A = this chain, B = another copy of it.
C-alpha cells in the first residue's frame, strides 16, 4: 500500500506548497495565513500584510526534506523575514530528495508561524490494487509516509473509499478515534477531512498530502505543509492549473511541446524508440552492451514523420550524445514514415556521431531503402541481438 502512493504521486504534475495551499483553502481546509514571494521585498510586504510575527519562510521547490537542507527558517519579525528570504531565494537547495545537484529556489512562502502541540500525517491517493481512493492517516506526523509504513505500520490508518457511497461518516470516525485526537476536536477534524477529501475529485489529484497536519496550542487544526500532485491525464479539465506547470529542464520542456515522451538520463547513447515498453527494453539492451542511454525517447506507437524529425533533432542537439540508436518496430508507425522523418530532420544538419538503425515490422524494406538512398551514414542492425553487439563494439 505504502508505495502505491509514491507511484501515483509520480504520474502527475507537482504543485508547490503555496499552490497546494491555495487550492486547499479554496475547498475549506484551514491553512496558516501566508503568501508566496519571489523576492525579499515581496517577502517583506507579505510580512506587513500578515501583521505580527513570528513568521516562517519556506523555500518553494519540487522536493521534500527542505528543512534539513536549510530551506525552511523561522523569522521573528519583518526584518528577519526579508533577511531570510534574501538567503533562501537564489540558493541551490540540496535535500535528500533533490539529489546531490540540488534545486534552485526561485520563490518562498511567507506564513505566520504557530506553536504546535501535536503533528499528524494525512493523505489521500489511489490504491492501485483495489482501484479506489484511500485515505491514509497517522499520529506519526512529520515523518515520511513510506518510513511510517515500514517502521510503524500499526500507526498507519487506512480507509478505502467506495465511489458508490463516497467518504462515509463512520470512516471519519475510524480515523478520528484511530488518531486518538482530543474529543473536542471531533467536529473540526471531520469537517477538515470532508473538505480535504473533496480536493481529490475537485482537482483530480493523484496524491493530496498534509504533512504535518497539526493541532496548535490554541487547539486549532491546520495544514502546516501540503503537497498536491495533479493527474496529468486529467489536466484537460483543469486548464486553470496549467499555468503552474514547470519542467525539470529545458529539454523536457521542449519535448513536451512536441508531445514527445522524453526523459533526460545520464549516459551517452541517444535513443529513439516507438512505444514505452520497447523503449525500456532498449535501454536494458544498451546496458547489456556496456553503455548507458543519454535519454529515454518514445515517439509513440503511432508517431508520424514530424514527431520522428522533432525527436531526432532533439537527440542530436544534445552534446553528450556519442552515438544515436534508432530502434523501431513498425506497427502503426510505418518504417518508411520513420525514414522520412529522420531524413527531414538531418537535411540541414551536419551529423558528427555514428547512427545505428534497426527497423522491423511494417514496410521495413522500404524504410531501409529510403535511408540508404539519403546519403545518411549509418549502421544497420538486423535484430535486438545485433543492436547490442553493434553498440558494444562502438563504446
- Which residues on A are within 8 Å of B, measured CB to CB? 163-164
Task: Looking at the assembled complex, report how far the CB atom of A208 sits from the nearest CB atom of chain B, in whole angstroms.
Answer: 22
Cα A164 to Cα B164 with chains together (Å) = 5
Q: List 2 A-B contacts (CB under 8 A).
A: A163-B164, A164-B164
Task: Looking at the assembled complex, report how far the CB atom of A237 sits from the nearest CB atom of chain B, in whole angstroms.
Answer: 14
Cα A387 to Cα B163 with chains together (Å) = 53
Cα A163 to Cα B163 with chains together (Å) = 9
Q: Which residues of B contact A164 (CB under 8 A)?
A: 163-164
Cα A164 to Cα B165 with chains together (Å) = 8
A162's closest neighbor in chain B, by CB? B164
Task: Looking at the assembled complex, report how far the CB atom of A160 sits from the nearest CB atom of chain B, in whole angstroms.
Answer: 15
A166's closest neighbor in chain B, by CB? B163
Task: Looking at the assembled complex, report how far the CB atom of A185 sits from the nearest CB atom of chain B, in whole angstroms.
Answer: 25
Cα A163 to Cα B164 with chains together (Å) = 6
Cα A164 to Cα B131 with chains together (Å) = 13
Q: Which residues of B contact A163 (CB under 8 A)?
A: 164
Task: Looking at the assembled complex, report how far the CB atom of A117 sits from the nearest CB atom of chain B, in whole angstroms.
Answer: 35
Task: Looking at the assembled complex, report how far the CB atom of A198 sits from the nearest CB atom of chain B, in whole angstroms.
Answer: 16
Cα A164 to Cα B132 with chains together (Å) = 12
A165's closest neighbor in chain B, by CB? B163
The 2 closest A-B pairs by CB, nearest first: A164-B164, A163-B164
A164's closest neighbor in chain B, by CB? B164
Cα A163 to Cα B165 with chains together (Å) = 8
Cα A115 to Cα B163 with chains together (Å) = 44
Task: Looking at the assembled complex, report how far the CB atom of A194 sits from the nearest CB atom of chain B, in whole angstroms.
Answer: 16
Task: Looking at the assembled complex, report how far the CB atom of A195 sits from the nearest CB atom of chain B, in whole angstroms.
Answer: 19
Task: Looking at the assembled complex, report how far the CB atom of A346 sits from the nearest CB atom of chain B, in whole angstroms.
Answer: 46
Cα A163 to Cα B162 with chains together (Å) = 11
A163's closest neighbor in chain B, by CB? B164
Task: Looking at the assembled complex, report how far the CB atom of A268 sits from the nearest CB atom of chain B, in whole angstroms.
Answer: 50
Task: Looking at the assembled complex, report how far the CB atom of A370 sits from the nearest CB atom of chain B, in whole angstroms.
Answer: 44
Task: Looking at the assembled complex, report how far the CB atom of A326 sits from the nearest CB atom of chain B, in whole angstroms.
Answer: 42
Task: Looking at the assembled complex, report how far the CB atom of A266 sits from the nearest CB atom of chain B, in whole angstroms.
Answer: 45
Task: Looking at the assembled complex, report how far the CB atom of A393 sits from the nearest CB atom of chain B, in whole angstroms.
Answer: 56
Task: Looking at the assembled complex, report how far the CB atom of A166 sits from the nearest CB atom of chain B, in whole angstroms.
Answer: 10
Cα A163 to Cα B166 with chains together (Å) = 11
Cα A164 to Cα B163 with chains together (Å) = 6
Task: Looking at the assembled complex, report how far the CB atom of A133 sits from the nearest CB atom of chain B, in whole angstroms.
Answer: 13
Cα A394 to Cα B163 with chains together (Å) = 61
Cα A164 to Cα B166 with chains together (Å) = 9
